[in-house]
Structure 1
Amino acid sequence: MKICRFNDNRLGMVEGDAIADVTPALAVIPRYGYPLPNFDPLIANLEPLQKRILEIQAQAPRIPLAQATLLSPLANPGKIIAAPVNYQKHLEEVLNDKDLHHDVRINHIQKAGLFLKAPSSLVGAGQGVALRKLDRRNDHEVELAVVIGKAADNVSRDEALDYVAGYCIGLDITIRGPEERSFRKSPDSYTVLGPWLTTRDDIADPGRLDLEISVGGETRQKSNTSDLIMGVADLIEFASSFYTLHPGDVIITGTPAGVGPIRPGDVMHARIQGLGAMDCECYTFRKCSGA
Protein backbone atom coordinates (compact mmCIF):
# COMPACT_ATOMS: atom_id res chain seq x y z
CA MET A 1 0.00 0.00 0.00
CA LYS A 2 1.18 3.52 -0.79
CA ILE A 3 0.08 6.03 1.87
CA CYS A 4 0.62 9.76 1.51
CA ARG A 5 -0.05 13.01 3.33
CA PHE A 6 -1.06 15.89 1.08
CA ASN A 7 -2.44 19.42 0.97
CA ASP A 8 -3.86 20.43 4.37
CA ASN A 9 -2.78 17.28 6.24
CA ARG A 10 -5.11 15.02 4.26
CA LEU A 11 -4.44 11.29 4.19
CA GLY A 12 -4.34 9.52 0.86
CA MET A 13 -3.94 6.12 -0.72
CA VAL A 14 -2.05 6.37 -4.00
CA GLU A 15 -3.63 4.56 -6.94
CA GLY A 16 -1.62 5.10 -10.11
CA ASP A 17 -2.01 8.75 -11.09
CA ALA A 18 -4.71 9.48 -8.51
CA ILE A 19 -5.05 9.79 -4.75
CA ALA A 20 -8.01 8.37 -2.89
CA ASP A 21 -8.73 10.77 -0.03
CA VAL A 22 -9.07 8.41 2.93
CA THR A 23 -8.70 11.04 5.65
CA PRO A 24 -11.67 9.67 7.65
CA ALA A 25 -9.57 6.55 8.33
CA LEU A 26 -7.51 8.65 10.75
CA ALA A 27 -10.35 8.23 13.26
CA VAL A 28 -8.89 4.82 14.22
CA ILE A 29 -5.79 6.49 15.67
CA PRO A 30 -6.15 7.10 19.42
CA ARG A 31 -5.94 10.64 20.73
CA TYR A 32 -2.90 11.26 22.90
CA GLY A 33 -2.61 13.82 25.68
CA TYR A 34 0.38 15.43 27.32
CA PRO A 35 3.06 14.17 27.68
CA LEU A 36 2.96 13.20 24.02
CA PRO A 37 4.30 9.76 23.00
CA ASN A 38 7.83 9.30 21.68
CA PHE A 39 6.54 7.66 18.49
CA ASP A 40 4.59 8.64 15.40
CA PRO A 41 0.92 7.75 16.12
CA LEU A 42 0.12 6.96 12.47
CA ILE A 43 2.94 4.44 12.18
CA ALA A 44 2.24 2.97 15.62
CA ASN A 45 -1.34 2.29 14.47
CA LEU A 46 -0.53 1.40 10.87
CA GLU A 47 -2.21 -2.03 10.87
CA PRO A 48 -5.70 -0.86 11.95
CA LEU A 49 -5.28 2.22 9.76
CA GLN A 50 -4.60 0.09 6.67
CA LYS A 51 -7.60 -2.08 7.47
CA ARG A 52 -9.86 0.99 7.69
CA ILE A 53 -8.42 2.46 4.49
CA LEU A 54 -9.35 -0.71 2.60
CA GLU A 55 -12.88 -0.56 4.02
CA ILE A 56 -13.53 2.99 2.78
CA GLN A 57 -11.35 3.34 -0.32
CA ALA A 58 -14.05 2.43 -2.85
CA GLN A 59 -16.21 5.39 -1.79
CA ALA A 60 -13.31 7.81 -1.23
CA PRO A 61 -13.13 10.89 -3.48
CA ARG A 62 -10.26 10.94 -5.97
CA ILE A 63 -7.97 13.79 -6.93
CA PRO A 64 -5.23 13.78 -9.57
CA LEU A 65 -1.83 13.12 -8.03
CA ALA A 66 -0.36 15.96 -10.09
CA GLN A 67 -2.68 18.45 -8.36
CA ALA A 68 -1.67 17.50 -4.81
CA THR A 69 1.05 19.08 -2.69
CA LEU A 70 2.84 16.12 -1.15
CA LEU A 71 3.91 16.44 2.47
CA SER A 72 6.25 14.12 4.31
CA PRO A 73 4.40 10.82 4.81
CA LEU A 74 5.54 11.04 8.46
CA ALA A 75 4.46 13.94 10.64
CA ASN A 76 6.22 13.17 13.93
CA PRO A 77 9.31 10.96 13.73
CA GLY A 78 11.14 10.81 17.03
CA LYS A 79 14.55 10.31 15.42
CA ILE A 80 16.02 10.68 11.94
CA ILE A 81 19.10 8.47 11.86
CA ALA A 82 21.58 8.78 9.03
CA ALA A 83 24.35 6.52 7.74
CA PRO A 84 27.50 8.34 6.60
CA VAL A 85 29.60 7.22 3.60
CA ASN A 86 27.74 3.91 3.28
CA TYR A 87 28.57 3.24 -0.39
CA GLN A 88 32.17 2.31 -1.19
CA LYS A 89 32.42 4.56 -4.26
CA HIS A 90 31.02 7.51 -2.30
CA LEU A 91 33.58 6.88 0.45
CA GLU A 92 36.33 7.04 -2.17
CA GLU A 93 34.74 10.17 -3.66
CA VAL A 94 34.72 11.96 -0.30
CA LEU A 95 38.28 10.93 0.58
CA ASN A 96 39.57 12.25 -2.77
CA ASP A 97 37.78 15.63 -2.81
CA LYS A 98 38.75 18.30 -0.26
CA ASP A 99 35.54 20.20 -1.12
CA LEU A 100 33.67 17.26 0.41
CA HIS A 101 35.84 16.35 3.40
CA HIS A 102 37.24 19.81 4.41
CA ASP A 103 40.19 18.15 6.15
CA VAL A 104 37.82 16.38 8.51
CA ARG A 105 38.87 12.79 9.15
CA ILE A 106 36.59 10.40 7.27
CA ASN A 107 36.14 6.95 8.80
CA HIS A 108 34.42 3.84 7.51
CA ILE A 109 30.84 3.66 8.76
CA GLN A 110 31.69 0.88 11.22
CA LYS A 111 34.11 3.30 12.94
CA ALA A 112 32.25 6.56 12.34
CA GLY A 113 28.90 5.20 13.53
CA LEU A 114 25.58 6.82 12.69
CA PHE A 115 24.43 10.39 13.26
CA LEU A 116 21.15 12.15 13.93
CA LYS A 117 19.33 14.82 11.94
CA ALA A 118 16.84 17.17 13.56
CA PRO A 119 13.20 16.11 13.04
CA SER A 120 12.50 19.81 12.38
CA SER A 121 14.46 19.43 9.12
CA LEU A 122 11.72 17.19 7.66
CA VAL A 123 9.53 18.19 4.69
CA GLY A 124 7.72 16.52 1.82
CA ALA A 125 8.60 16.71 -1.86
CA GLY A 126 5.92 19.30 -2.58
CA GLN A 127 7.29 21.71 0.00
CA GLY A 128 10.73 22.13 -1.56
CA VAL A 129 14.14 22.83 -0.04
CA ALA A 130 14.97 26.30 1.31
CA LEU A 131 18.70 26.62 0.70
CA ARG A 132 20.81 28.48 3.26
CA LYS A 133 24.47 29.50 3.34
CA LEU A 134 24.57 30.15 -0.39
CA ASP A 135 28.19 31.26 -0.11
CA ARG A 136 28.96 27.60 0.54
CA ARG A 137 28.26 24.46 -1.45
CA ASN A 138 24.88 22.80 -0.84
CA ASP A 139 24.67 19.22 -2.13
CA HIS A 140 21.95 16.68 -2.94
CA GLU A 141 22.18 13.13 -1.58
CA VAL A 142 19.54 10.57 -2.61
CA GLU A 143 18.99 7.69 -0.19
CA LEU A 144 16.68 4.80 0.64
CA ALA A 145 14.75 5.74 3.78
CA VAL A 146 13.54 3.03 6.16
CA VAL A 147 10.62 3.68 8.51
CA ILE A 148 10.57 1.68 11.74
CA GLY A 149 7.20 0.09 12.54
CA LYS A 150 7.55 -1.12 16.13
CA ALA A 151 9.88 -0.68 19.08
CA ALA A 152 13.28 -2.23 18.35
CA ASP A 153 15.92 -2.60 21.04
CA ASN A 154 19.06 -4.66 20.41
CA VAL A 155 17.46 -6.63 17.58
CA SER A 156 19.48 -9.06 15.50
CA ARG A 157 20.18 -8.70 11.80
CA ASP A 158 18.08 -11.81 11.11
CA GLU A 159 15.01 -10.27 12.77
CA ALA A 160 15.59 -6.66 11.71
CA LEU A 161 13.28 -6.44 8.69
CA ASP A 162 10.34 -7.58 10.86
CA TYR A 163 10.58 -4.16 12.53
CA VAL A 164 10.12 -2.17 9.30
CA ALA A 165 6.85 -0.40 8.53
CA GLY A 166 7.83 0.70 5.05
CA TYR A 167 10.15 2.66 2.80
CA CYS A 168 10.43 6.12 1.20
CA ILE A 169 12.77 8.06 -1.00
CA GLY A 170 14.99 10.26 1.14
CA LEU A 171 16.97 13.37 0.23
CA ASP A 172 19.72 14.26 2.69
CA ILE A 173 20.59 17.85 1.79
CA THR A 174 24.04 18.90 2.97
CA ILE A 175 25.90 22.16 3.53
CA ARG A 176 29.59 21.46 2.97
CA GLY A 177 32.00 22.62 5.62
CA PRO A 178 34.11 21.59 8.62
CA GLU A 179 31.30 21.40 11.18
CA GLU A 180 29.76 18.19 12.52
CA ARG A 181 27.46 16.40 10.08
CA SER A 182 24.35 16.77 12.23
CA PHE A 183 24.79 20.55 12.32
CA ARG A 184 25.29 20.97 8.57
CA LYS A 185 22.47 18.61 7.62
CA SER A 186 19.71 19.78 9.97
CA PRO A 187 18.48 23.15 8.66
CA ASP A 188 14.74 23.34 8.07
CA SER A 189 13.77 21.41 4.90
CA TYR A 190 17.14 19.64 4.59
CA THR A 191 15.51 16.22 4.99
CA VAL A 192 12.96 15.34 2.30
CA LEU A 193 10.86 12.17 2.52
CA GLY A 194 8.44 11.04 -0.11
CA PRO A 195 6.68 10.82 -2.30
CA TRP A 196 4.71 8.50 0.00
CA LEU A 197 5.19 5.59 2.40
CA THR A 198 5.37 2.27 0.58
CA THR A 199 4.52 -0.42 3.11
CA ARG A 200 6.94 -3.27 3.72
CA ASP A 201 4.80 -5.92 2.05
CA ASP A 202 5.21 -4.15 -1.31
CA ILE A 203 9.03 -4.41 -1.27
CA ALA A 204 10.38 -7.95 -1.42
CA ASP A 205 14.05 -7.03 -0.95
CA PRO A 206 15.23 -3.54 0.04
CA GLY A 207 18.76 -4.64 -0.83
CA ARG A 208 18.07 -4.84 -4.57
CA LEU A 209 16.60 -1.46 -5.51
CA ASP A 210 17.82 0.89 -8.24
CA LEU A 211 18.02 4.52 -7.16
CA GLU A 212 18.95 7.71 -8.95
CA ILE A 213 18.65 11.48 -8.92
CA SER A 214 18.89 14.08 -11.67
CA VAL A 215 19.08 17.86 -11.48
CA GLY A 216 17.79 19.87 -14.39
CA GLY A 217 17.60 16.69 -16.45
CA GLU A 218 21.24 15.74 -15.77
CA THR A 219 21.70 12.40 -14.01
CA ARG A 220 23.96 12.92 -11.01
CA GLN A 221 23.70 9.75 -8.91
CA LYS A 222 22.73 6.27 -10.06
CA SER A 223 23.28 3.04 -8.15
CA ASN A 224 21.59 0.08 -6.47
CA THR A 225 21.09 -0.60 -2.78
CA SER A 226 23.04 -3.85 -3.27
CA ASP A 227 26.11 -1.58 -3.18
CA LEU A 228 25.45 -0.49 0.43
CA ILE A 229 28.34 -1.27 2.77
CA MET A 230 25.87 -1.86 5.61
CA GLY A 231 22.47 -2.98 4.35
CA VAL A 232 19.07 -2.23 5.84
CA ALA A 233 19.12 -5.13 8.31
CA ASP A 234 22.69 -4.32 9.38
CA LEU A 235 21.77 -0.68 10.01
CA ILE A 236 18.75 -1.59 12.13
CA GLU A 237 20.88 -3.99 14.17
CA PHE A 238 23.62 -1.34 14.55
CA ALA A 239 21.27 1.51 15.49
CA SER A 240 19.17 -0.55 17.91
CA SER A 241 22.31 -1.67 19.74
CA PHE A 242 22.80 1.94 20.85
CA TYR A 243 19.22 3.13 21.42
CA THR A 244 15.62 1.99 21.18
CA LEU A 245 14.00 2.62 17.82
CA HIS A 246 10.34 3.66 18.01
CA PRO A 247 7.51 3.54 15.46
CA GLY A 248 8.07 6.32 12.96
CA ASP A 249 11.81 6.61 13.50
CA VAL A 250 13.60 6.91 10.16
CA ILE A 251 16.92 5.49 9.02
CA ILE A 252 18.30 7.06 5.85
CA THR A 253 20.75 4.51 4.61
CA GLY A 254 23.48 6.48 2.85
CA THR A 255 24.08 7.94 -0.58
CA PRO A 256 26.02 6.65 -3.61
CA ALA A 257 28.76 8.46 -5.51
CA GLY A 258 27.89 11.49 -7.60
CA VAL A 259 26.83 14.04 -4.98
CA GLY A 260 26.75 17.50 -6.48
CA PRO A 261 25.75 21.10 -5.86
CA ILE A 262 22.22 22.46 -5.98
CA ARG A 263 21.15 26.07 -6.29
CA PRO A 264 17.93 28.06 -6.02
CA GLY A 265 15.73 27.26 -9.01
CA ASP A 266 17.07 23.72 -9.45
CA VAL A 267 14.57 20.87 -9.52
CA MET A 268 15.73 17.52 -8.20
CA HIS A 269 14.06 14.44 -9.67
CA ALA A 270 14.62 11.37 -7.49
CA ARG A 271 13.51 7.80 -8.14
CA ILE A 272 13.83 4.50 -6.29
CA GLN A 273 12.61 1.24 -7.78
CA GLY A 274 9.26 0.23 -6.31
CA LEU A 275 8.90 3.47 -4.34
CA GLY A 276 8.01 5.88 -7.13
CA ALA A 277 9.56 9.19 -8.11
CA MET A 278 9.38 12.75 -6.84
CA ASP A 279 10.33 16.25 -7.92
CA CYS A 280 11.60 18.70 -5.34
CA GLU A 281 12.39 22.34 -6.08
CA CYS A 282 15.19 24.35 -4.46
CA TYR A 283 14.59 27.96 -3.46
CA THR A 284 16.30 30.63 -1.38
CA PHE A 285 15.68 30.64 2.35
CA ARG A 286 13.98 33.85 3.45
CA LYS A 287 14.25 34.92 7.06
CA CYS A 288 10.97 35.72 8.77
CA SER A 289 10.61 39.46 9.39
CA GLY A 290 8.92 38.94 12.78
CA ALA A 291 6.14 40.95 14.36
Structure 2
Amino acid sequence: MRLAIFDETRLGAVVAGGVVDVTAALPWAYDPDPATAGWWRRLCGEFDEVRDRLAAAARDGEPVPLDRVRLRAPVLNPSKLLAAASNYADHVAEMHGVQERTLGRVEHWMMDFDVFLKAPSSVIGPADDIVLPPAVLAAGHEVHHESELVVVIGRGGRDIPESAALEHVFGYAIGLDITVRSDGDRSRRKSYDTFSPIGPWVTTADEAGDPADFDIELTCSGQPRQKVNTAALITPVPAIIAYASSVMTLVPGDVIFTGAPPGVGPIVAGDVLDTSISRLGEMRIQVKQPTFPQY
Protein backbone atom coordinates (compact mmCIF):
# COMPACT_ATOMS: atom_id res chain seq x y z
CA MET A 1 0.00 0.00 0.00
CA ARG A 2 1.18 3.53 -0.77
CA LEU A 3 0.09 5.98 1.92
CA ALA A 4 0.28 9.72 1.48
CA ILE A 5 -0.41 12.69 3.68
CA PHE A 6 -2.09 15.39 1.64
CA ASP A 7 -3.83 18.76 1.86
CA GLU A 8 -4.71 19.43 5.52
CA THR A 9 -2.89 16.35 6.89
CA ARG A 10 -5.45 13.91 5.47
CA LEU A 11 -4.43 10.28 5.05
CA GLY A 12 -4.63 9.02 1.49
CA ALA A 13 -4.11 5.73 -0.29
CA VAL A 14 -2.37 6.23 -3.62
CA VAL A 15 -4.06 4.17 -6.35
CA ALA A 16 -4.01 4.10 -10.14
CA GLY A 17 -6.40 7.05 -10.47
CA GLY A 18 -4.85 9.31 -7.85
CA VAL A 19 -5.33 9.45 -4.09
CA VAL A 20 -8.30 8.21 -2.08
CA ASP A 21 -8.99 9.85 1.28
CA VAL A 22 -9.03 6.98 3.79
CA THR A 23 -8.88 9.09 6.95
CA ALA A 24 -12.37 8.03 8.05
CA ALA A 25 -11.28 4.38 8.06
CA LEU A 26 -8.88 4.97 10.95
CA PRO A 27 -10.23 3.37 14.14
CA TRP A 28 -8.70 6.07 16.35
CA ALA A 29 -9.49 9.70 16.97
CA TYR A 30 -8.10 11.81 14.14
CA ASP A 31 -6.27 14.99 15.12
CA PRO A 32 -5.28 17.12 12.10
CA ASP A 33 -2.61 18.99 14.09
CA PRO A 34 0.75 17.68 12.79
CA ALA A 35 2.44 18.71 16.04
CA THR A 36 0.60 15.98 17.93
CA ALA A 37 -0.06 13.39 15.19
CA GLY A 38 -0.86 10.57 17.58
CA TRP A 39 -2.96 8.87 14.90
CA TRP A 40 0.04 8.77 12.59
CA ARG A 41 2.30 7.11 15.14
CA ARG A 42 -0.43 4.58 15.91
CA LEU A 43 -0.79 3.86 12.20
CA CYS A 44 2.96 3.22 11.90
CA GLY A 45 3.04 0.97 14.94
CA GLU A 46 -0.24 -0.87 14.41
CA PHE A 47 -0.52 -1.00 10.62
CA ASP A 48 -1.10 -4.77 10.54
CA GLU A 49 -4.31 -4.24 12.52
CA VAL A 50 -5.77 -1.62 10.16
CA ARG A 51 -4.35 -2.69 6.78
CA ASP A 52 -7.59 -4.38 5.65
CA ARG A 53 -9.76 -1.43 6.70
CA LEU A 54 -7.59 0.99 4.75
CA ALA A 55 -7.44 -1.30 1.73
CA ALA A 56 -11.24 -1.58 1.68
CA ALA A 57 -11.63 2.20 1.93
CA ALA A 58 -9.15 2.63 -0.92
CA ARG A 59 -11.11 0.19 -3.12
CA ASP A 60 -14.46 1.81 -2.37
CA GLY A 61 -13.43 5.46 -2.47
CA GLU A 62 -13.27 7.90 -5.37
CA PRO A 63 -9.68 8.83 -6.26
CA VAL A 64 -8.70 12.44 -6.76
CA PRO A 65 -5.97 13.02 -9.37
CA LEU A 66 -2.60 13.70 -7.80
CA ASP A 67 -2.29 17.03 -9.59
CA ARG A 68 -5.35 18.27 -7.68
CA VAL A 69 -3.97 17.66 -4.19
CA ARG A 70 -0.92 18.95 -2.33
CA LEU A 71 1.24 16.11 -1.14
CA ARG A 72 2.80 16.74 2.27
CA ALA A 73 5.78 15.01 3.80
CA PRO A 74 4.57 11.44 4.41
CA VAL A 75 5.74 11.52 8.03
CA LEU A 76 4.36 13.60 10.88
CA ASN A 77 6.46 15.02 13.69
CA PRO A 78 8.83 12.05 14.12
CA SER A 79 10.45 11.86 17.52
CA LYS A 80 13.78 11.26 15.77
CA LEU A 81 15.27 11.85 12.37
CA LEU A 82 18.31 9.60 12.12
CA ALA A 83 20.84 9.40 9.31
CA ALA A 84 23.56 6.93 8.46
CA ALA A 85 26.98 8.28 7.53
CA SER A 86 29.59 6.77 5.21
CA ASN A 87 27.46 3.87 4.06
CA TYR A 88 28.50 3.43 0.41
CA ALA A 89 32.16 2.68 -0.33
CA ASP A 90 32.24 4.84 -3.47
CA HIS A 91 30.80 7.78 -1.54
CA VAL A 92 33.45 7.39 1.15
CA ALA A 93 36.09 7.48 -1.58
CA GLU A 94 34.66 10.60 -3.23
CA MET A 95 34.40 12.42 0.10
CA HIS A 96 38.20 12.56 0.37
CA GLY A 97 38.23 14.88 -2.64
CA VAL A 98 35.15 16.80 -1.50
CA GLN A 99 36.67 17.50 1.90
CA GLU A 100 40.03 18.47 0.45
CA ARG A 101 38.23 21.03 -1.73
CA THR A 102 35.76 22.37 0.85
CA LEU A 103 37.74 22.01 4.10
CA GLY A 104 41.34 21.86 2.94
CA ARG A 105 41.81 18.55 4.77
CA VAL A 106 40.26 15.11 5.22
CA GLU A 107 38.40 14.36 8.44
CA HIS A 108 39.20 10.66 8.63
CA TRP A 109 36.79 9.95 11.49
CA MET A 110 33.94 10.94 9.18
CA MET A 111 34.81 8.11 6.79
CA ASP A 112 33.54 5.44 9.20
CA PHE A 113 29.92 4.28 9.37
CA ASP A 114 27.84 5.75 12.18
CA VAL A 115 24.46 7.35 12.81
CA PHE A 116 23.66 10.94 13.73
CA LEU A 117 20.58 13.07 14.33
CA LYS A 118 18.95 15.66 12.11
CA ALA A 119 16.31 18.12 13.31
CA PRO A 120 12.76 16.90 12.57
CA SER A 121 11.93 20.53 11.77
CA SER A 122 14.06 20.17 8.62
CA VAL A 123 11.45 17.87 7.01
CA ILE A 124 9.50 19.11 3.99
CA GLY A 125 7.28 17.35 1.47
CA PRO A 126 7.41 16.76 -2.29
CA ALA A 127 5.50 19.97 -3.06
CA ASP A 128 7.91 22.16 -1.08
CA ASP A 129 11.20 23.83 -1.98
CA ILE A 130 14.71 23.59 -0.57
CA VAL A 131 15.59 27.09 0.63
CA LEU A 132 19.30 27.86 0.83
CA PRO A 133 20.29 29.62 4.09
CA PRO A 134 21.57 33.17 3.42
CA ALA A 135 24.37 32.94 5.99
CA VAL A 136 25.68 29.78 4.33
CA LEU A 137 25.59 31.44 0.92
CA ALA A 138 27.29 34.56 2.26
CA ALA A 139 30.08 32.43 3.73
CA GLY A 140 30.65 30.79 0.34
CA HIS A 141 30.02 27.23 1.54
CA GLU A 142 28.84 24.58 -0.88
CA VAL A 143 25.45 22.96 -0.26
CA HIS A 144 25.15 19.39 -1.57
CA HIS A 145 22.35 16.99 -2.42
CA GLU A 146 22.32 13.41 -1.12
CA SER A 147 19.49 11.22 -2.44
CA GLU A 148 18.78 8.34 -0.06
CA LEU A 149 16.46 5.50 0.85
CA VAL A 150 14.39 6.46 3.90
CA VAL A 151 13.04 3.94 6.41
CA VAL A 152 9.98 4.71 8.54
CA ILE A 153 9.88 2.72 11.77
CA GLY A 154 6.72 0.80 12.58
CA ARG A 155 6.86 -1.25 15.75
CA GLY A 156 9.54 0.36 17.88
CA GLY A 157 11.95 -1.14 20.32
CA ARG A 158 15.37 -1.15 21.97
CA ASP A 159 18.20 -3.57 21.11
CA ILE A 160 16.33 -4.91 18.12
CA PRO A 161 18.16 -7.97 16.75
CA GLU A 162 19.30 -7.66 13.16
CA SER A 163 17.46 -10.89 12.30
CA ALA A 164 14.12 -9.30 13.28
CA ALA A 165 14.81 -5.71 12.24
CA LEU A 166 12.66 -5.67 9.10
CA GLU A 167 9.66 -6.67 11.21
CA HIS A 168 9.99 -3.21 12.77
CA VAL A 169 9.71 -1.31 9.46
CA PHE A 170 6.45 0.40 8.56
CA GLY A 171 7.59 1.45 5.10
CA TYR A 172 10.01 3.24 2.82
CA ALA A 173 10.22 6.58 1.04
CA ILE A 174 12.60 8.77 -0.94
CA GLY A 175 14.68 11.25 1.01
CA LEU A 176 17.10 14.07 0.26
CA ASP A 177 19.71 14.74 2.93
CA ILE A 178 20.80 18.29 2.09
CA THR A 179 24.20 19.14 3.52
CA VAL A 180 26.39 22.20 4.06
CA ARG A 181 30.03 21.36 3.34
CA SER A 182 31.87 23.27 6.04
CA ASP A 183 33.49 22.87 9.42
CA GLY A 184 31.29 21.99 12.34
CA ASP A 185 28.94 19.38 13.65
CA ARG A 186 27.34 17.08 11.08
CA SER A 187 23.90 17.38 12.70
CA ARG A 188 23.91 21.17 12.52
CA ARG A 189 25.07 21.27 8.90
CA LYS A 190 22.19 18.98 7.86
CA SER A 191 19.40 20.44 10.01
CA TYR A 192 18.54 23.75 8.37
CA ASP A 193 14.86 24.20 7.62
CA THR A 194 13.90 22.45 4.35
CA PHE A 195 17.04 20.25 4.39
CA SER A 196 15.14 16.94 4.63
CA PRO A 197 12.67 16.52 1.75
CA ILE A 198 10.78 13.21 2.06
CA GLY A 199 8.20 11.79 -0.31
CA PRO A 200 6.23 11.36 -2.33
CA TRP A 201 4.49 8.87 -0.03
CA VAL A 202 5.37 5.89 2.18
CA THR A 203 5.25 2.52 0.47
CA THR A 204 4.51 0.00 3.18
CA ALA A 205 7.06 -2.73 3.78
CA ASP A 206 4.77 -5.52 2.60
CA GLU A 207 4.47 -3.89 -0.82
CA ALA A 208 7.94 -2.38 -1.19
CA GLY A 209 9.85 -5.64 -1.05
CA ASP A 210 13.54 -6.19 -0.35
CA PRO A 211 15.28 -2.98 0.85
CA ALA A 212 18.57 -4.42 -0.45
CA ASP A 213 17.35 -4.09 -4.04
CA PHE A 214 16.20 -0.53 -4.64
CA ASP A 215 17.59 1.51 -7.54
CA ILE A 216 18.27 5.14 -6.55
CA GLU A 217 18.75 7.84 -9.17
CA LEU A 218 19.08 11.63 -9.04
CA THR A 219 19.52 14.29 -11.66
CA CYS A 220 20.27 17.95 -10.97
CA SER A 221 18.72 20.24 -13.58
CA GLY A 222 18.78 17.34 -16.02
CA GLN A 223 22.39 16.32 -15.30
CA PRO A 224 22.79 12.75 -13.98
CA ARG A 225 24.48 12.79 -10.60
CA GLN A 226 23.61 9.72 -8.52
CA LYS A 227 22.80 6.16 -9.55
CA VAL A 228 23.17 3.16 -7.25
CA ASN A 229 21.45 0.04 -6.01
CA THR A 230 20.99 -0.38 -2.26
CA ALA A 231 22.73 -3.75 -2.50
CA ALA A 232 25.89 -1.61 -2.29
CA LEU A 233 25.10 -0.39 1.24
CA ILE A 234 28.05 -1.14 3.54
CA THR A 235 25.67 -1.50 6.48
CA PRO A 236 22.32 -2.78 5.18
CA VAL A 237 18.95 -1.69 6.50
CA PRO A 238 18.53 -4.45 9.15
CA ALA A 239 21.99 -3.71 10.57
CA ILE A 240 21.31 0.05 10.63
CA ILE A 241 18.14 -0.54 12.65
CA ALA A 242 19.87 -2.95 15.01
CA TYR A 243 22.77 -0.56 15.58
CA ALA A 244 20.59 2.52 16.03
CA SER A 245 18.32 0.71 18.48
CA SER A 246 21.34 -0.34 20.54
CA VAL A 247 21.94 3.36 21.18
CA MET A 248 18.42 4.74 21.49
CA THR A 249 14.90 3.39 21.68
CA LEU A 250 13.16 3.60 18.32
CA VAL A 251 9.48 4.51 18.40
CA PRO A 252 6.75 4.31 15.75
CA GLY A 253 7.12 7.01 13.13
CA ASP A 254 10.86 7.53 13.58
CA VAL A 255 12.70 8.15 10.31
CA ILE A 256 16.08 6.80 9.20
CA PHE A 257 18.05 8.08 6.21
CA THR A 258 20.19 5.13 5.17
CA GLY A 259 23.22 6.90 3.68
CA ALA A 260 24.34 8.94 0.70
CA PRO A 261 25.18 7.14 -2.55
CA PRO A 262 28.16 8.36 -4.59
CA GLY A 263 27.68 11.30 -6.90
CA VAL A 264 26.92 14.03 -4.35
CA GLY A 265 27.42 17.54 -5.63
CA PRO A 266 26.60 21.20 -5.15
CA ILE A 267 23.19 22.75 -5.64
CA VAL A 268 22.39 26.40 -6.28
CA ALA A 269 19.24 28.47 -6.46
CA GLY A 270 17.31 27.61 -9.60
CA ASP A 271 18.35 23.96 -9.67
CA VAL A 272 15.71 21.25 -9.97
CA LEU A 273 16.35 17.90 -8.30
CA ASP A 274 14.59 14.88 -9.80
CA THR A 275 15.04 11.82 -7.64
CA SER A 276 13.52 8.37 -7.89
CA ILE A 277 13.71 4.99 -6.17
CA SER A 278 12.41 1.87 -7.89
CA ARG A 279 9.06 0.66 -6.52
CA LEU A 280 8.77 3.80 -4.35
CA GLY A 281 8.12 6.60 -6.84
CA GLU A 282 9.77 9.85 -7.78
CA MET A 283 9.72 13.48 -6.76
CA ARG A 284 10.90 16.82 -8.08
CA ILE A 285 12.21 19.44 -5.67
CA GLN A 286 13.25 22.98 -6.59
CA VAL A 287 16.13 24.85 -4.96
CA LYS A 288 15.49 28.48 -4.07
CA GLN A 289 16.93 31.44 -2.25
CA PRO A 290 14.91 32.89 0.65
CA THR A 291 12.33 35.48 -0.32
CA PHE A 292 11.71 36.72 3.22
CA PRO A 293 13.82 38.62 5.75
CA GLN A 294 16.14 36.60 7.99
CA TYR A 295 16.58 37.73 11.60
Confirm or deny a common fold (TM above 0.5). Answer: yes
Q: CA-atom RMSD, angstroms?
A: 2.4
In the superposition, the TM-score normalised over structure 2's length comes to 0.89
Q: Give CA-to-partner distance per residue, 1:23-81, whole Å, 9 cap, x none.
A: 323453577xx9997x8343234334433322322342321112322111111211011
1:21 matched residue in structure 2? 21
Is the partner of 1:127 in helix, strand or coil? coil
Q: Which runs of 5+ in 1 are unaligned?
A: none
Greater shift in the superposed pair: 258-267 or 245-254 = 258-267
Is the partner of 2:234 in helix, strand or coil? coil
2:65 matched residue in structure 1? 64
1:83 matched residue in structure 2? 84
2:230 matched residue in structure 1? 225
Is the partner of 2:108 in helix, strand or coil? coil
Q: Which of the residues 204, 216, 219 maps onto 1:214?
A: 219
| Structure-2 change in CA distance of 1:210 and 1:184 (3 Å) | same
- Checking the alignment, whether the CA contact within 8 Å between 1:125 and 1:192 is kept in structure 2 is yes
Distance (Å, rounded) in 2 between the aligned partners of 1:71 and 1:36: 14
Asked if 1:167 is matched to 2:172, the reply is yes
| Structure-2 change in CA distance of 1:102 and 1:247 (3 Å) | farther
Is the partner of 2:58 in helix, strand or coil? helix
In the superposition, the TM-score normalised over structure 1's length comes to 0.91
- Checking the alignment, whether the CA contact within 8 Å between 2:144 and 2:267 is kept in structure 1 is yes
Q: CA deviation at 1:213?
A: 0.5
Q: Which of the residues 279, 285, 289 maps onto 2:290?
A: 285
| Structure-2 change in CA distance of 1:129 and 1:49 (3 Å) | farther
Distance (Å, rounded) in 2 between the aligned partners of 1:246 and 1:193: 19
Q: How many pairs are equivalent?
A: 287
Asked if 1:99 is matched to 2:101, the reply is yes
- Checking the alignment, whether the CA contact within 8 Å between 2:102 and 2:142 is kept in structure 1 is no
Equivalent AA in structure 2 for residue 8 of structure 1: E
| Structure-2 change in CA distance of 1:288 and 1:58 (3 Å) | farther
Asked if 1:269 is matched to 2:270, the reply is no
Distance (Å, rounded) in 1 between the aligned partners of 2:56 and 2:28: 12
Q: CA deviation at 1:167?
A: 0.4
Asked if 1:137 is matched to 2:142, the reply is yes
Identity, % of aligned positions? 38
2:153 matched residue in structure 1? 148
Is the partner of 1:40 in helix, strand or coil? helix
Equivalent AA in structure 1 for residue 93 of structure 2: E
Distance (Å, rounded) in 2 between the aligned partners of 1:225 and 1:96: 23
Asked if 1:205 is matched to 2:203, the reply is no
Greater shift in the superposed pair: 133-142 or 238-247 = 133-142
Q: CA deviation at 1:100?
A: 5.1
- Checking the alignment, whether the CA contact within 8 Å between 1:266 and 1:281 is kept in structure 2 is yes
